[in-house]
């Protein structure tokens, strides 16, 4: 392993308990387990947070047959219609 950089992080008490439990079960230090997690994150594509189907719908370009509703319009204080 090459040169290390020291980092300090804040975790929830439940995360600390899980970290201790998993490190003990694997026979590695807590720091090593964190490094393993970071390495694993680097090897996988990061997904979008939340509802994957909703993101897929949002990221799909609209088509003529799209069932998307048009964006709502609002009247501003002078009565002009503005689209959002």
Residue 84 in domain: no
Residue 36 in domain: yes
Residue 10 in domain: yes
Residue 68 in domain: no
| Nearest-angstrom CA–CA distance, 45 and 39 | 12
Q: Is 23 exposed, middle or buried (0-12, 13-18, 19+ CB in 10 A)?
A: middle
Q: What confidence category does residue 38 fall into, taking pLDDT thresholds of 50, 70 and 90?
A: confident
DSSP state of 72: P
Task: Please tell me the total count of domains within the chain.
Answer: 1
Whether pTM exceeds 0.95: no
Residue 31 in domain: yes
DSSP state of 3: -
pLDDT, tens digit, 9 for 90 and up, residues 5-34: 999 999 999 999 999 999 999 999 999 999
Residue 71 in domain: no
Domain with residue 33: its CATH number is: 1.10.1220
Structural domain for 10, as ranges:
1-45
> Do residues 21 and 14 touch, judged by C-beta distance below 8 A?
no
pLDDT, tens digit, 9 for 90 and up, residues 44-83: 766 556 677 776 777 777 766 656 566 555 555 555 555 5
Residue 79 in domain: no
């Amino acid at each position: 392993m090459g040169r290390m950089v020291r980092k300090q992080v804040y975790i929830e008490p439940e995360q600390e308990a899980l970290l201790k439990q998993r490190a003990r079960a694997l026979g590695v230090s807590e720091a090593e387990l964190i490094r393993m997690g970071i390495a694993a994150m680097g090897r996988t594509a990061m997904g979008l947070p939340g509802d994957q189907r909703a993101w897929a719908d949002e990221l799909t370009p609209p088509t003529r047959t799209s069932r998307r509703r048009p964006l709502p319009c609002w009247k501003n204080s002078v009565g002009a219609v503005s689209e959002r």
